[in-house]
Chain A
């Protein structure tokens, strides 16, 4: 196994474990590693990470499906508006300041983390 393939396998295993454990894509693992280990630019890393996530999340959803944990109707209820959100976000990206969105997103994250803990 070449060292490059071995590094890709390490990225894949770490992202897969993160995804299966937390129900998120694993982009937070993949993006920085593609930049650090493979010399990717940030946008290339993000685009490539998204494609990998589509595969990883599909596998993880299937694995959780075997446990009977997946609710397909709820996945549609939350996933369809998210698809609309992606399209709206990319259409508006020149007009919305990224920092404002990042700030609002951070507030939402902390608020929902507090709901989970308490």
Chain B
């Protein structure tokens, strides 16, 4: 691994967490390209690795939101507990698709996120607000 790649990976990880904390978009959508570009992972590998990284970030974010009284733990646990069927379908599908199909569909997801961010940023003046992950 080149030093510049390591620095790039650390920087994009930091940016993903910071953007997630500030504007409420999960970091995964930036971590995946960071893993592909700087750490040489395949699209599939990057998506899988990103999920593991997200666990810590989301847990920390949830804990901080809990401090603001923004967490309904019971619903969160029910959603998590009922998710395995969807997780299984998504994971099997990701492993069945070609790298190119994954790249293109992921790029579409990123573009949609960017569109939503821009629309929100231009919709109304944003008041100061609590962190969102």
Contacts and interface: CB of A to CB of B under 8 A. Distances in A.
A36 interface: no
Contact of A89 (B19, B43, B113): B19
B20 A55 contact: no
A43 B65 contact: yes
Contacts, number: 414
A28 to B, nearest CB: 7
A2 B6 CA distance: 50
B13 A77 contact: yes
B86 A13 contact: yes
Main secondary structure of the interface of A (DSSP, over half): helix
A20 B21 contact: no
A71 B41 contact: yes
A95 to B, nearest CB: 9
Contacts of B55: 54, 57-58, 61
A97 B127 CA distance: 9
B98 interface: no
Interface residues of A, number: 93
A54 B59 contact: yes
B4 interface: no
Contact of A53 (B26, B41, B105, B114): B26
A22 B90 CA distance: 8
Contacts of A84: 14, 17
A53 B63 CA distance: 12
A56 B132 contact: no
8 closest cross-chain pairs (CB), A and B: A23-B47, A85-B17, A20-B90, A16-B86, A55-B80, A89-B21, A47-B65, A79-B53
Interface of B: 6, 9-37, 39, 41, 43-62, 64-66, 68, 70-73, 75-95, 103-111, 113-118, 120-122, 125-126, 128-133
Given A13-B85, A108-B15, 14 more contacts: A19-B86, A23-B48, A24-B28, A24-B50, A25-B58, A43-B130, A47-B70, A77-B6, A78-B31, A79-B52, A94-B128, A105-B25, A106-B114, A109-B111
